[in-house]
Amino acid sequence: MTQFTKNLLELDFVRVAVVSPEVRVADVDFNLSTIEAEIHRLAGQGCQLAIFPELCLTGYTCGDLFFQEHLLAKARAAVKKIARLSAGSGMALVVGSPVSSDGRLFNCAIFVAAGEILGIVPKTYLPNSREFYEERWFSSAFDVISEQVTWDGVAIPFGADLLFQAENLPGCIVGLEICEDAWVANPPSGQQALQGATILANLSASPEILGKEDYRRELVRAQSGRCLAAYVYASAGPGESSTDLVFSGHSLLAENGMILAENERFSFATDSVMADIDIGRLLNERRQNNGFADGLIESHRRMISFALRDAAADELRRPLTQTPFVPRREEERCRRCREIFDLQTTALAKRLRHTGSVNAVIGVSGGLDSTLALLVTAHAFDKIELNRDGIMAVTMPGFGTTKRTRNNATELAGILGCSLKEIPINAAVTTHFQDIGHDPDRHDIVFENAQARERTQILMDLANQNGGLVVGTGDLSELALGWCTYNADHMSMYGVNAGVPKTLVRYLVEWCADKVFSGKASDILRDICATPVSPELLPPDANGEIEQKTEETIGPYLLHDFFLYQVVRMQFAPGKVFFLASRAFAGTYDPETIMKWLENFYRRFFSQQFKRSCLPDGPKIGSVALSPRGDWRMPSDASPDLWLQELAMIKDEIGLQES
């Protein structure tokens, strides 16, 4: 078996670097040498596009030296040298330099690729208050007269209306703005995004003052999210003059509201950070966002083509986690758990108030899902000041129930102050087997589902008997895989967990154990988290332990939640999903295992849509939801063949056996 490899362009990735080079004010030769060294280094790392700061060839803080023709001539010569470097490195480069045109001086971003200067973009908004005096030296893009400048007999496109499109990845369109352009009420990058730009680059020389770091980071992050784009920000470092200001070299890359990478500030040496921008993701986001489409504008723009070099995507330069639904940092994870718990609690409380119900019925098994639903129900009752004894926690031991789960369910219900009811189902199910002529020793789907439906019947009838509603316990991952018995645990009067994937359910219960409860309740919750996931429909083993383990049948939920996020949230093709999974789970699952369960995911996701088409109400929690009334509308008889065929081609390519 060979490793499944892809190049960056095949995956719709562009490897972008933002650089804060070591500079000396007005020393163009030195600045060029540091930029050249960094270009060579980045080329060796597969970089395709590198962005350098505002006026990096001269230094931003030259003051009246910008009027020196000798400095300007040196800068022009340096730009031509960088153009030649772009040919040798294969990279597209953007550098900052002063440029003369029609008797005016402009603060410009210069785009070079394949040995040529392809376009020059002047700064639009010039700061001219407090520490800034740019209007003393430069003119705005609003003052441009000619649409080109001529250097050595070559006409170069000039103006703020330029965009740069990769001919071998048409979705990669680069828009340029300079420092203050990003800080105004209507940044040029917003219009550039509406004209198609997916990478918005800002060449900056932003001096540092107390608190500005956080504000800058949020500005970059928010603009990337608002524009459904990548926003890459290269800032001048502490080599700039410190006569009155300090520059930190704070450079960042953000994509659709998420910071992908940023550097450490205040380094005198050249510093850069790099990330793989997912152009495919950005285009998917835009296609799904009618608000973005409605904002599209027809205005004057000039599109300039360039070619991106390609490189192997062996090591991805972007965050890639096994648990996309679960934040990595504990602080953020705790905050997210609190938010989810509040969303679930408020949703159920609203439904209870609307129906006038003072009672709720919930089946408790001692498993993760029913435990979370029970905790949510208890807090919903508290929220609207109902007595918790109106919560009827029903345990219904059957052929597969173990002592461990049974005890956890009953003890937790007691600690929470719920009314506990135990109704064994063995006799009723055995009678049902007799009615339909089923051999009880035949442990097939009839054996399992008859128990699930008997339990739901009991819950529904108890709800009618007590004037309450049945709280559903099934989670988002089960709905994606159809791992629920139709018209059994598939059905309820309100499904509080319908928007919560299994990997997150576990963290929510752990969070409750750590932050909400203590003592015996906390111990029970931790034991529930340590219990294998099982519907407990088949008899236990000889030691009375759980024999039927869900993940042995349908695959690890860790993998399935990863697939769910990439397929539904990101809309990625099977090849990209498999590639990302192979990288994320390297050392955890081998490619054969990943492929086996990815194929299973696609088969089940398509074949089980009919269960999602008639789901009970339940709250949307995160960016992935499968409600037929909300986020996901899919025909129940759609074919998965197109997706499975691509996986079959990958298996053949890397020598995997048919599963």
The catalytic residues are 54, 123, 179
Name the residue with tokens 């000619």: 146
Cβ-Cβ contacts under 8 Å for 149 (sequence gap 6 or more)? 99, 100, 101, 120, 155, 156, 158
DSSP label at 543? T
Angle in degrees, CA 272, 183, 110, rounded to 5 = 50
Inter-residue contact 96 to 134 (CB < 8 Å): no
* 330 class by beta-carbon count within 10 Å (0-12 exposed, 13-18 middle, 19+ buried): exposed
What's the CA gap between 611 and 435, in Å, rounded?
26
Query: Is 205 within 8 Å of 235 (Cβ atoms)?
Result: yes
Residues pairing with 204 in the sheet: 235
Distance CA 603, CA 592 (A): 17
The dihedrals phi and psi of 552, each to the nearest 5 degrees, come to -75, -20
Q: Which residues pair with 647 in a beta bridge?
A: none
Given a contact cutoff of 8 angstroms between Cβ atoms, the answer to whether 595 and 647 are in contact is yes
- 3-class secondary structure, 503: helix
Using CA atoms, how far apart are residues 191 and 298, in angstroms rounded to an integer? 10
How far is 519 from 646, CA to CA, in rounded Å? 52
β-bridge partners, 149: 156
Locus of tokens 């800080």: 183
